Amino acid sequence: MLFGGKRKRRIERLLIVEDEPLVAFDTEHFLRDAGFEIVATVDSVAAALRVIDAEDQEIDLVLADVSLSDGSGIDVAKAAHARGFPILFVTGNCPGEARALAAGCLSKPYPQRDLLAAIDAIEAVEDGRKPKRLPGSFSLFKKAA
């Protein structure tokens, strides 16, 4: 079939760092159904750091809440940034340090389509394209080329 294929995504493998069980469950299943591979869904800074620091780990995007049960998502972002993994903060309160560490920040609560649009916008910037649509609850920190 000539026109039936989907375009290859740059962002495929996601790490979800969320300590609210229902939000983590919904996000994981929604993104898996949307065609993403979930590397892991973890609920703490310590667990996130173990995944990020794994030698053979390939992560295309880290989605992290800022307020976690054992610390701050800022620590997750610093570790991800050091490994070259882009991060999207998904939080009720975007921290001031976010701009230096993350690709963007999506404010909770948000509709699932806004999460997809935020990922698409980050992917567009990574590909050197201008994002098509930015949700109102999303701040993109990287500039489009």
Q: Which amino acid is at 44?
A: S
Percent of the chain with pLDDT over 70: 92
Q: Are strands 61-64 and 87-91 parallel, antiparallel or unpaired?
A: parallel
**Which residues does 10 contact at the CB level (< 8 Å), separation at least 6?**
60, 123, 126, 127
List, for residues 31-64, the tens digit of each pLDDT value: 999 999 999 999 999 999 999 999 888 999 999 9
Q: How confident is the model at residue 132 (pLDDT cuts 50, 70, 90)?
A: confident
Q: What is the CB neighbour count within 10 angstroms for residue 117? A: 20
pTM: 0.90
Extents of the domains making up the chain: 13-140
Q: How confident is the model at residue 7 (pLDDT cuts 50, 70, 90)?
A: low
Structure tokens at 119: 């990922």
Judged by phi (left if over 0) then psi (alpha if -120 to 50, else beta), residue 138 lies in beta
| 13-140 fold | Rossmann fold (3.40.50)
